[in-house]
């Protein structure tokens, strides 16, 4: 059967664009449909604008630190509208690059919503027409989750709206303890808002190493963020110009803005996947095999919509592997192990490999090396912020299976460390590496003493 296209891609985010470009460059006829803006969540309302907001929020603290080094800055002020204008101009530029790169590679890009009709047919909603394709790739990403059991939930905003604030709120209530909530707590606090976080667990960042969780939690509180633990929102009501969030523990919190950052859902609703017989899991994510193929042989899915490992570089590598396998005669599957990731908290987090708990569950006996210290830069500022570094080692062969850092430049450091972990470096390899002094990262190769919990130390 002759199809209109060799490949139809739904979604022009990071993963969809990479797959489309590579496929098109082989000579394949490719059509990409994007209903919002090229670039996807990361470029338009995720990683990139969020990090610009982190940068903006850190300057206030920098001005304070400058005093310790003899600098005086008089009359410093923050112009939110100017910053937002410059940030969105850059986002527009990046989105345009994504669209241009797609077309330069030979792919077609249409501004339209696509819905799957069957295994080889897709309907373009705005255009009101259907097209056929030999292969269909779903790369629609995810969207902010909002609970359905909280009365007045329509009064709250999601992370999407945080990138379009016309002013910084005086008080903000942030519901959630994951990385998005933690990042916005730091951003808002750094830009002058009073922040109250409401989390279901005892500490933030569920799923991270316990030492990391505790360290970030304590730093949030030390920087003035109020954290209400073991509580969930029950009702939101408007009180004049403010909003009050009533909680399950009987407490309440009020603010000019209420942000719900309680996770993200795979963006699969209304795509017509059920019509084609594509299997979804209990969370609505597309179920795929190691080659990103769904239960329907001609339909594939990559990125956050599969809910495997929801990171932009992972979506890109999954898209690349798909194109190499299906259009370049180079069978490839992406290895999801030992992928580095960061939380742009303040201080930031960089992690690669297993947490201590995960390593003990997987390998049994592990050795732990960890240290906490004030960075050299803060010795003259008076800031009491601490750096945490932790190495998790498989005892049987001394292989390093996890590295966890909280502190300045942690994401930059962990990217390089991830190479060593991915290559299977041992603790002895770390020890043989000469330190770079003076630096924060040198601690990674100078830790010699195994950590022994106080309860296990001999009396």
- What gap in Å lies between CA 204 and CA 225, rounded to an integer? 12
CA 144 to chain centre: 12
Q: What is the CA radius of gyration of the chain?
A: 24
- What are the distances in angstroms from CA 271 to CA 27, 30, 45, 123, 259? 27, 19, 21, 10, 27
> How many other CB atoms are found less than 10 A from the CB of residue 119?
18
Query: 411 by DSSP, 3-state: which?
Result: helix
Query: Could you please report the per-residue DSSP string of 225-238?
Result: -EEE-S--EEEEEE
Do residues 161 and 191 make contact, with C-beta atoms less than 8 angstroms apart? no
Query: 58 by DSSP, 3-state: which?
Result: helix
> How many other CB atoms are found less than 10 A from the CB of residue 311?
19
Strands 299-301, 30-34: parallel, antiparallel or unpaired by DSSP?
Answer: unpaired
Query: 327 by DSSP, 3-state: which?
Result: helix
Q: Which residue matches tokens 């316990």? A: 210
- What gap in Å lies between CA 25 and CA 179, rounded to an integer? 36
| Catalytic site positions | 437
Q: Which residue matches tokens 């939690």? A: 217
Residue 367: exposed, middle, or buried by beta-carbon count in 10 A (0-12, 13-18, 19+)?
Answer: middle
């Amino acid at each position: 059967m002759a199809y209109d296209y060799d490949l139809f891609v739904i979604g022009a985010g990071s993963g969809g664009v990479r797959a489309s470009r590579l496929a098109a460059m082989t000579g394949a006829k490719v059509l990409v449909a994007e209903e919002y803006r090229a670039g996807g969540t990361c470029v338009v309302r995720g990683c990139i604008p969020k990090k610009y907001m982190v940068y903006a929020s850190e300057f206030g603290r920098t001005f304070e630190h400058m005093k310790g080094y003899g600098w005086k800055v008089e009359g410093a002020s923050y112009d939110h509208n100017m910053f937002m204008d410059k940030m969105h101009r850059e986002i527009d530029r990046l989105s345009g690059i994504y669209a241009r790169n797609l077309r330069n590679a030979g792919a077609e890009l249409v501004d339209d919503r696509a819905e799957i009709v069957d295994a080889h047919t897709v309907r373009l909603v705005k255009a009101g027409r259907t097209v056929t394709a030999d292969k269909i790739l779903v790369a629609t990403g995810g969207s902010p989750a909002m609970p359905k059991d909280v009365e007045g939930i329509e009064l709250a905003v999601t992370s999407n709206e945080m990138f379009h604030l016309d002013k910084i709120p005086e008080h903000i209530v942030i519901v959630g303890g994951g990385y998005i909530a933690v990042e916005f707590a730091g951003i808002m606090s750094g830009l002058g808002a009073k922040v109250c976080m409401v989390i279901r667990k005892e500490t933030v960042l569920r799923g991270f190493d316990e030492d990391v969780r505790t360290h970030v939690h304590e730093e949030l509180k030390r920087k003035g963020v109020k954290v209400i633990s073991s509580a969930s929102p029950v009702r939101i009501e408007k009180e004049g110009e403010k909003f009050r969030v009533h909680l399950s523990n009987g407490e309440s919190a009020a603010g000019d803005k209420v942000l719900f950052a309680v996770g993200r859902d795979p963006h699969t609703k209304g795509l017509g996947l059920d019509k084609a017989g594509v299997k979804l899991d209990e969370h609505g994510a597309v179920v795929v095999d190691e080659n990103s193929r769904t239960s329907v042989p001609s339909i594939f899915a990559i990125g956050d919509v599969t809910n495997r490992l929801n990171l932009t570089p992972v979506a890109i590598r999954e898209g690349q592997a798909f194109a190499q396998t299906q259009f370049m005669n180079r069978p490839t599957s992406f290895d999801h192990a030992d992928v580095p990731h960061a939380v742009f908290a303040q201080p930031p987090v960089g992690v690669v490999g297993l947490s201590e708990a995960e390593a003990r569950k997987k390998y049994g006996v592990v050795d732990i090396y960890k240290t906490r210290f004030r960075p050299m830069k803060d010795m003259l500022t008076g800031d009491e912020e601490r750096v945490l570094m932790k190495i998790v080692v498989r005892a049987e062969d001394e292989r390093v299976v996890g590295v966890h850092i909280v502190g300045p430049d942690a994401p930059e450091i962990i990217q390089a460390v991830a190479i060593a972990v991915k290559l299977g470096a041992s603790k002895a390899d770390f020890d043989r590496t000469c330190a770079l002094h003076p630096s924060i990262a040198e601690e990674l190769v100078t830790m010699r003493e195994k950590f022994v919990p106080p309860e296990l130390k001999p009396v």
